[in-house]
Amino acid sequence: MIQFDAHPALYRHWRLTVSGTTATLLLKVDENAGLFPGYELKQNSYDLGVDIELRDAVTRLRFEHPCVNSVVITGSGSGSFCAGANIRMLAGASHHHKVNFCKFTNETRNDIEDASAHAGQRYVAALNGTAAGGGYELALACDHIVLLDDGFSAVSFPELPLLAVLPGTGGLTRLVDKRHVRRDLADHFATHEEGERGQGALNAGLIDATIPRSQWEAYIQDLCAQQPLTPDKPAIGINLEPLTAERSEDRLAYGLVTVDIQRETRIASISLSGPAGLAPQTAEQALLQGANFWPLQLMRELDDALLHLRFNEPLIGTIVIRTSGDSDLVSACSRLLNSNGPHWFINEVRHLTKRVLQRLDLTSRSIFTLVEPGSCFHGVLAELLFAADQVMMLQGVFEEASDQLPAATISVDDSNFGTYPMVTGISRLEARFWGDPEHYRETMSLIGRSLDAQSADQAGLITRRFDDLDWEDEIRLILQARASFSPDALTGLEANLRFPGPETMQSKIFARLSAWQNWIFQRTNATGAHGALPCYGTGERPVFDMRRV
């Protein structure tokens, strides 16, 4: 079972050091520490385990070292900064692992860009060796790319000519959307495996500087020194303690999040608990709670649960989300997050929440949210309603329940109008009412009101409502019908319906590049018996079906 929690003391592939306002992430891959047997991580190539550590480091720097304003990503100086995703790993991995590996790697690169945009942490790719494939894609996620000018080090995208696949972690999109490399130059670059060195790479816009070894250290130090300080951030933040969870074959139980697996119906039920006590009144009180601050703990646990389902439970096709707790306490926490945005800790919690909700949006599972008595889909947790493919709400109460809970309500607040945008840059409510701006504006008038099932239905905030007599049978039939459909068709259906409206670089990466990579991974030209991936390194030339589809 793949686990996604990590800590610098246990890293096998990265060395994280912090000196003043500069952090350094040194990539020194342990070639014998792959996640699976059958390959060695040579030339600083990576697999999922390397990216799990990188994701942890990027998040940890934001919470534990908020004063850091420059992060240098560099290699071990062995001539290869990073050779990209390990080819033997890709050749031997299952299809679902390859696709989810690319998606997770994309999300981790997006985390780097989010840290630059919203935490004032500028990333510098110090390429002291060749950056090939995913290694160059990692560099493209950074703000500034410096290449060693030694006549040998290069940047390259060799995937298409050598492996018959794409630079799958956003590389092509970032070339033209982010770095504004001319289309014809990008086409030439991505079809020549040798790539570009020194001045050629600089002339094409592939890097920002090429520096000889004699000036290397001084240039990197000066570049970091130019980064402006972010005001009002302490030198030391909070400790992100490792997550704890009781794990069994069909259950994951964290502190606030529980996942129950029903294998016969291929359903994962995710239950989220509201705050256990009074919400902090100020940002400083929230900071004192550290990693136990309710929204932070909840989102870290939910994030881990989603990744577990993606990688370890490929047959689970439906996620059913429930909440329980005091709606007033949830609303109070939500108001605290909304009203203290400038505070560095609250800012980081909000952006982590945004990234976790985006991971939910991008998870290839059918998502249903059930609103029942005792639920607390208010404020920030109401985002789980609008992230779902369908929302079912009970009208009234369960008449025969032994613990009679009040009828379910939902409510919206400022959280639901842009605080936690999707990868498309708009809120989930705006996406819900895309093309109907008047209805979207009318929803704003509902801020702070507790809506019962009938009112929520009339406002367009839920899909269907049922009474006590019909609830159990209707939910069962809906979920049974979903489970009978083709999972491939459902993935396409959901991905096309969830993201109306504008495109961003992020949405292009997931909706366009990743979808094409998914398709390419299934084609014989890449993964067939005589495809490029299995043939790589054997001396045998791949055999391509030359029909264009």
Q: How many domains does the chain fold into?
A: 2
Which pLDDT value is given to residue 37?
93
Asked whether the predicted pLDDT for residue 228 surpasses 90, the reply is no
Q: Do 167 and 279 lie in a common domain?
A: no
Asked whether the predicted pLDDT for residue 3 surpasses 90, the reply is yes
Cα(491)–Cα(88) distance, integer angstroms: 28
Asked whether the predicted pLDDT for residue 341 surpasses 80, the reply is no
Which pLDDT value is given to residue 487?
94
Q: Do 257 and 211 lie in a common domain?
A: no
What CATH number has the domain bearing residue 203? 3.90.226.10
Asked whether the predicted pLDDT for residue 523 surpasses 80, the reply is yes
Q: Do 313 and 421 lie in a common domain?
A: yes
The verdict on residue 67 lying in a domain is yes
Which pLDDT value is given to residue 95?
92
Q: Do 217 and 265 lie in a common domain?
A: no
Cα(326)–Cα(340) distance, integer angstroms: 22
Which pLDDT value is given to residue 279?
87
Q: Do 71 and 41 lie in a common domain?
A: yes
Which pLDDT value is given to residue 386?
98
The verdict on residue 238 lying in a domain is no
- Percent of the chain beyond pLDDT 70? 100
Q: Do 213 and 286 lie in a common domain?
A: no
Confidence of residue 231 (pLDDT cuts 50, 70, 90): confident
Nearest to 284 by CA among 354, 340, 330: 340
Q: Do 214 and 84 lie in a common domain?
A: yes
The verdict on residue 395 lying in a domain is yes
What residues contact 294, with CB distance under 8 A and at least 6 apart? 256, 274, 275, 276, 279, 333
Choose the final residue of a domain: 441, 465, 485.
485
Asked whether the predicted pLDDT for residue 533 surpasses 80, the reply is yes
Asked whether the predicted pLDDT for residue 181 surpasses 80, the reply is yes
The verdict on residue 241 lying in a domain is no
Cα(140)–Cα(81) distance, integer angstroms: 13
**416 DSSP 8-state letter:** G
Question: Does residue 48 contact residue 104 with C-beta atoms inside 8 Å?
Answer: yes
Which pLDDT value is given to residue 219?
98
Query: Does 522 or 288 have the greater pLDDT score?
Result: 288
- Percent of the chain beyond pLDDT 90? 90
Chain-wide mean pLDDT for the chain? 95
Choose the final residue of a domain: 164, 194, 225.
225
Out of 128-142, 192-206, 229-243, least confident range: 229-243
Residue 379 tokens read as: 């404020």
Q: Do 268 and 336 lie in a common domain?
A: yes
Q: Do 199 and 279 lie in a common domain?
A: no
Asked whether the predicted pLDDT for residue 401 surpasses 80, the reply is no
Domain of residue 38, residue span: 8-225
The verdict on residue 201 lying in a domain is yes
Out of 251-255, 262-266, 329-333, 525-529, least confident range: 525-529
Nearest to 67 by CA among 6, 18, 9, 17: 18
The verdict on residue 523 lying in a domain is no
Confidence of residue 93 (pLDDT cuts 50, 70, 90): very high
Q: Do 127 and 12 lie in a common domain?
A: yes
Which pLDDT value is given to residue 403?
77
Tens digits of residue pLDDT in 135-167: 999 999 999 999 999 999 999 999 999 999 999
Asked whether the predicted pLDDT for residue 43 surpasses 80, the reply is yes
Residue spans of beta strands (DSSP E) within 133-197: 144-148, 154-156, 196-197
Cα(102)–Cα(96) distance, integer angstroms: 10
Choose the final residue of a domain: 485, 514, 532.
485
Q: Do 104 and 169 lie in a common domain?
A: yes
Q: Do 271 and 402 lie in a common domain?
A: yes
The verdict on residue 499 lying in a domain is no
Average the pLDDT over 11-33 and give the result.
97
The verdict on residue 511 lying in a domain is no
